[in-house]
Amino acid sequence: MDLAHVSLDNHAAYRVIMARDARFDGRLFVGVTSTGIYCRPICRVRTPRERNCRFFATPAQAEAAAFRPCMKCRPEIAPGAPHAWTVMDASRTLARQAADALDAQAASGEAASLVDVAGRLGVSDRHLRRIFQTEHGVTPLQYLQTRRLLLAKQLLTDTRLPVAQVALASGFNSLRRFNAAFVESYRMSPSRLRGEVDDAGFDDRAAITVKLGYRPPYDAAALLRFLAQRAVPEVEVVDGLRVRRTLRAGTVAAVAGWVEAEFATTAPIVLLRFAPELAAASGRVVAAVRRWLDLDAEPQTIDAALAALPGAPGLRLPGSLDAFELALRAVLGQQVTVAGARTLARRVVERFGAPLRTPWDDMGRAFPAPSVLAATALERIAELGIIRSRAGAIQAIAQAWPEIAALLAPGARAEPLIERLCALPGIGPWTAHYIAMRALGWPDAFPPNDVAVLKALALWRGAPTTTQREAEAHAQAWQPWRAYAVLRLWNSMEKTTP
């Protein structure tokens, strides 16, 4: 079943609710007229009668109809919508891209501007408003308000942040306006939702902890193994079902910090903890981690498309919390092993990285900023054992980073990024596609002439070799999930390698 765009009649939607079908989590919500509350389809409360149910595709639609979010299933932690580029219809894609941009605005806490979003998408704000309401059933401002209120509800429920700080982190510049919007939408004050906890008891040294949901299955072991093999010492550490890493200033927030994500064993939940210094950027941290761990993927749709390939269900596409670090790692990995690239990255961090205080002894440096490497003499980079042409490519990326970073907005198209990267010295199509695959979370990336992919395809086909043309022909059947196919093929080679 293709869940990219849920379209169900009321009776079919009610069957989803009765079955508590996790495939529709985050894609379908039920409002109960007898209580005025809306829930996720997986909610464990007693199933309401069908005549009391109204069904919605988004929380914004439910809240526009005056329903309040359930306190038990918590719609604010549900997985989000799928990638905009998995939709074929142009208007629907544009509306989804606009929603991604509004999600980013809600997470950033910055003032909303539909004019800016429309300009970035190349349409008028009037046209964008029209197709947005047609697709999403609410206005862009209603959508944005819902995203901000749900983020606030999450921070009020999971953290001890003062209400005033929650308001700012959620994009409300006025505590009075925040209280008024919260009471109007949820019919209770923020402090009542929290349970009348006194903000004076807030410890500004304590880690911020929130919960993030996803659609099962999720092959956490495969994702954590991928990250562990590439983890740069002192920057990133994988420990059991946990992955933690440092964040340099200028990645997710203006200040440096750290994050730790742990996969729960009893529910499809990731427990996210992050440094108190990042509290003001809580929305951006949550959004970035969701992309990093691919928590909004629809595994059933992806697995069905790749059923013929080897691999377990629930494979996720590892993203990145620092696109600049990823780009440099991609250059360092050219024509060397994963372990060799990791060694070179460690040397870069040891020489140019900044010290950072964390709760762990094995993690205490942040990856160097683009400005640091852009201003470094080429010889100082090359003397780390990096051949001169790659050192030059690193410096070129660092110097062009302000322009490149502008192409990395959530939901941005991959083609402009690839074109800009390939214009730099030492950056070929494979490196550019790999960066787009992980930095943008591009699900249809298919890095050309990948040696491991060609070998794995040959084994899968029972052929002595596979050419790039043959690989591309086979890969047509996997669109728009070719990046996941690449991961399955890479993983199959790991299992066959002594």
| Angle value at C-alpha 431, between 426 and 436, nearest 5 degrees | 130
Decide if 39 is catalytic.
yes
Q: Which residues does 155 contact at the CB level (< 8 Å), separation at least 6?
A: 161, 166, 169, 170, 210, 282
Pair 6, 28: CB distance under 8 Å: yes
433 vs 326: CA distance, rounded Å: 12
Evaluate the CA torsion angle 182, 187, 189, 190 in order and state its sign.
Answer: negative
Strand runs (DSSP E) across 275-410, as ranges? Answer: 354-355, 365-366
Q: Which residues does 451 contact at the CB level (< 8 Å), separation at least 6?
A: none
Residue tagged active-site, from 103, 296, 303, 450: 450
Pair 27, 65: CB distance under 8 Å: no
Coil, helix or strand at residue 271: strand
In this structure, the number of other CB atoms found within 10 A of the CB of residue 379 comes to 9
Decide if 198 is catalytic.
no
Strands 37-39 and 68-69: parallel
Residue tagged active-site, from 25, 39, 43, 100: 39
488 vs 482: CA distance, rounded Å: 10
Pair 156, 164: CB distance under 8 Å: no
Tell me the catalytic residues. 39, 450
